[in-house]
Structure 1
Amino acid sequence: MTLGTRDLPAHGIDSAGWFPGPRAEHAAWLRDALARSLDTWSAWRRDAGAGDPSVWPDGQLPDDQHEQIDAALQTLARRLSGETATFSPHYAGHMVSDASMPALLGHVLATLHNPNNTSKEVSRVGTQIEAEAIAMLARMIGFDPAHARGHMTSCGTIANFEAVWRARFRLDHWLSLALWLAETQGERLDVFAAAHMGWPRYHTLRERHAPPEDALRAASAVAGNPADTFRRISRASGREYLGPVVMVPENKHFSWRKAANVFGLGEEAFRGVGLDAQGRLCLKALEHEVEKATAQGRPVLAAVSVAGATETGNFDPVDGVCDLMERWRRERGWRIWHHVDAAYGGFFASTLGAGATALSDVAASALAAIRRVDSITIDPHKLGYTPYACGAFLVRDAQRYAVSSFAAPYLERAHVSDDLWSATLEGSRTSAGAAAVWMTGTTIGFTPDGFGRILENAVEARRAIMHAAMKACPDLRLLDPCDTNIACFTVARTGEPLSVVNAGSEALYEASVQGGRFTLSKTHFPLSSHAGQITRHVEQWGGDFDADGLTVLRCVFMNPYLERETMRAHVVEDMVTLLSGAAPC
């Protein structure tokens, strides 16, 4: 089938037109655009080096080396032709699709110039572009771009680490001051209250008591000796101090387990917060875990909620967590860091503000509440449709951006806002991701009628495709809820045991991997953490519980070409063929 004008969306905005096309329909234009970019880059080099002698004054360029490069390039091109065709509308396996043409062009052009965003000394323009791109993302998620701070990272994992780093910086400052005061004044240390005192009280106490800087550093578990600091806290509080904890929902990304290892907190310190029957963070469970930490004298370094879970794309009640934080601050004086892992779902914020949205009410409320949190992770290389690797970390204001400072004598800096090397976990950072985001925001726009339309189409495609697939295959059981553009499902006949259904999911996945035209993925939900959601799902067909978890098939419908109804029909046909081939529909 071909894509005709009758296939254009009724609203008249051709969202798919921002992308290269599933059959490289925009190849000629893209080639010209790249050539123009290369011409500009070449002119820049000629102008910048106008006073220098030529390396090849006689004009004889090393053609033999050109031939070697070309031969290797052709070999690489042939090899990459065997790569996974994630640009295809028939690919729904993971959180990856075609990159947009603005993002591709921005990425390539910035790579040609190769600025290192570690410092303005080597990235005069790249750092400006990054600041402008961060402001665009801040505006999209509801932060005030005039006050928000942040930077690009290589991925969401590093962005999550950035949140832990800053939350630890804040908690450690408050607790070290309280420890010094307790020791010098002979008072009992309330660890939990001290570790959440807030900056206003911290600054008031510092001005009143003027503690020596070296004494505060010695009382710090970060700047001093952590083992000695823990012993001192134990003596001052009258109970053994075991360190802070981090509240992370059971649907957490694997990066949080890594964070426990990297920051030396120990996996035990990352407390799993129970999920409700819909697989979202349970607010009562969060309250219970915080109360338990209070009773144990273990401060909460951060509480995490998820906006777009990796497996399902679903949203935790971010607004509910914000309400809890505000109540604790109002009633108990606690300031607990709230981080939102929106690596996948953050870009759905672009759909808000234009009346009705294709998102669930829970997702819309969660996105609207992000403006109230301390920090957020968002990945442009997922639903931002930029090339890898491009993550982003943002905080609400400069105070929340503060981290431990380090000296690097070979890099001069006037202040941290000019040179980010001391405020980022990564040292050298490419500006390619920032340029890709900048190009995307400048052209498509992170607005409801721009980028929001692309993501609305993705959610609508998920609904249409799954509806058609369920109509053709009555035994297809959709995992509820579906907040966004990800669909998880099983194929189960009435009364079929869970173990048999799980085996069927494994078989269907293998059939997809072994050359099926339609590509999907799978995931497994343990009964220990997802009991309520699994129970609700199995009740659809009245199956027996004879397994310790649920294995589901997973489709990520983020391909921009699924805006076209004819393309959706192709995908439904191939999806049903896959399902009927390995399991009776």
Structure 2
Amino acid sequence: MTFDHETLPLLAEALKDLDAGFDRLPEVTPRVDVEGIRRVLNEVAERLRDNYPYQHPQYIGQMLKPPHPVARLAYSLAMFVNPNNHAMDGGRASSRMEKEAVAGLARMVGWEEHLGHLCSGGTMANFEALWVARELQPGKAVAASSQAHYTHSRLSSVLQVPFHPVPVDARGRMDVDALEKLLQSESIGTVVVTLGTTAAGTVDPLDRILPLREKYGFRLHVDAAYGGYFRLVEDLREETARAFAAIPAVDSVVIDPHKHGLQPYGCGCVLFRDPSVGRIYRHDSPYTYFTSDELHLGEISLECSRPGAAAVALWATQQLLPPVRGGEFAAGLEQGRAAALELHEWLSGDSRFVPLMEPELDIVVWAMWAETASESSRRARAFFAEAERRDVYLALASFPRGMVEPAGAVGDWDDESVVCLRACAMKPEHREWMRAIAGRLEA
């Protein structure tokens, strides 16, 4: 059995408790075709078997982490009401829960005062941050590292803002000297700093970029969709810890609770240090904002209808597992990072594998040693397929020569990029399973 069955009775208990809150209303008998639903649901289960086993520790490929049981149950419970967190009259309780949950994330990054809300994911969260930046720095460009998420160049195009990629060093971190040269030659209004690239998990040196803001006057946005929760981890490398420690000074931050935050899709969060940027969202609605004088979340969001269930699930998870240093939630992150370091160490002891760098967070990337770059890529693809046949599920990622060559994985460069293998040790269980996973990779 790979799925949680033990907690399902808790949903029935909680649903009865929820129902009791509405017992003043006349009785309504739901019209439910139980047999029809059973037939379709069983068909759904059959169809869903056509998936990688994302929930199992031997799936270590992409950033796919199963929600915590309390998140699944709270989300399901909220779906019986199906609240809409655009306005208070569509989701009164869930809107307040969203505000509390978002405040918890703001405190995690070091802000008591803030403006923020949940959204569908990192793409929408980054879009809102870049949109606000464009309104505050009209006519100016966006800069992000060449290893930043591809969404930034796409979103800049949608916003009709020029975009400039900044070169990276051999570890995939933004080159600060290259950034300053760009700032001297171009009109840059926003610099996107990535704390945890989704390809290799590398962390841009935010602490070294901050002084440039004072000199050149740009807005500083942190894309921590993947890595934001690692601010809670106490055993990071010193330079990585310095970057996370600098977050409170930036202008905006994006975090994805549906990555390390144990939430279902989609649950992203955008946070602004200065609450006054809410004026940029200002708009009027003829029929949604009349039921309460409280802030309606639709008044500070580009999205209109938004699932209140996502806020309920996040709130519930943070009640059980507060996002604080030294807590159970932070320990889970540390277990995943320890698993990544263990895998890196094992790979380093075999000459067939060439890790590109020591993991900064919990992503491990390695190339296959070969005489040529094209042969290294071919071997990586073959290894990926063979690992799947042995029930270990990895991922593939292409990296430029500048990140692979220093590791010494290739003899002759007949291509300017190499396809490498990638593992995301995001589950706490990966620590206890890593020896078994390594054994399968060895085979």
Alignment check: 8 A CA contact 2:86 2:297 kept: yes
Alignment check: 8 A CA contact 1:362 1:483 kept: no
CA distance in 1, matches of 2:405, 2:344: 22
Whether 1:400 and 2:270 are equivalent positions in the alignment is no
Give the alignment of 1:43-54 within 5 angstroms: 43-45=20-22, 47-49=23-25, 52=26, 54=27
Alignment check: 8 A CA contact 2:201 2:359 kept: yes
Residues 48 and 490 of structure 1, relative CA distance in 2, 3 Å threshold: farther
Alignment check: 8 A CA contact 1:350 1:447 kept: yes
CA distance in 1, matches of 2:239, 2:106: 21
Q: Which residue of structure 1 aligns with residue 127 of structure 2?
A: 161
CA distance in 1, matches of 2:218, 2:290: 32
Whether 1:503 and 2:378 are equivalent positions in the alignment is yes
Give the alignment of 1:88-487 within 5 angstroms: 88-144=56-112, 147-172=113-138, 243-265=139-161, 269-293=162-186, 298=187, 300-326=188-214, 328=215, 335-352=217-234, 357=235, 359-413=236-290, 418-450=295-327, 451-471=329-349, 473-487=350-364
Q: Which residue of structure 2 aligns with residue 27 of structure 1?
A: 5
Contiguous gaps of at least 5 residues in structure 1: 1-21, 173-242, 329-333, 578-585
Higher helix share: 1
RMSD of equivalent CA atoms? 2.1
| Alignment length (residue pairs) | 442
CA distance in 2, matches of 1:55, 1:276: 64
Higher strand share: 2
Whether 1:575 and 2:441 are equivalent positions in the alignment is yes
Alignment check: 8 A CA contact 1:469 1:575 kept: no
* Equivalent residue for 1:518, pick from 369, 380, 392: 392
- TM-aligned CA deviation for residue 560 of structure 1: 2.0
CA distance in 2, matches of 1:489, 1:457: 21
- TM-aligned CA deviation for residue 504 of structure 1: 0.9
CA distance in 1, matches of 2:75, 2:435: 33
Q: Which residue of structure 2 aligns with residue 82 of structure 1?
A: 50
CA distance in 2, matches of 1:39, 1:549: 57
- TM-aligned CA deviation for residue 481 of structure 1: 4.0
- TM-aligned CA deviation for residue 114 of structure 1: 1.3
CA distance in 1, matches of 2:357, 2:366: 9
SS state of the match for residue 211, structure 2? helix
- TM-aligned CA deviation for residue 416 of structure 1: 9.1
Residues 376 and 275 of structure 1, relative CA distance in 2, 3 Å threshold: same
User: What TM-score, normalized to structure 2?
Assistant: 0.94
CA distance in 2, matches of 1:552, 1:542: 12
CA distance in 2, matches of 1:135, 1:112: 26
- TM-aligned CA deviation for residue 55 of structure 1: 5.0
CA distance in 2, matches of 1:484, 1:525: 18
SS state of the match for residue 487, structure 1? strand
- TM-aligned CA deviation for residue 490 of structure 1: 1.3
Choose 1 or 2 for highest CA Rg: 1
- TM-aligned CA deviation for residue 125 of structure 1: 0.8
Alignment check: 8 A CA contact 2:116 2:272 kept: yes
> How many percent identity over aligned positions?
30
CA distance in 2, matches of 1:419, 1:97: 31
Q: Which residue of structure 1 aligns with residue 368 of structure 2?
A: 491
* Matching residue's letter, 2:314: V
Q: Which residue of structure 2 aligns with residue 40 of structure 1?
A: 17
CA distance in 1, matches of 2:102, 2:24: 29
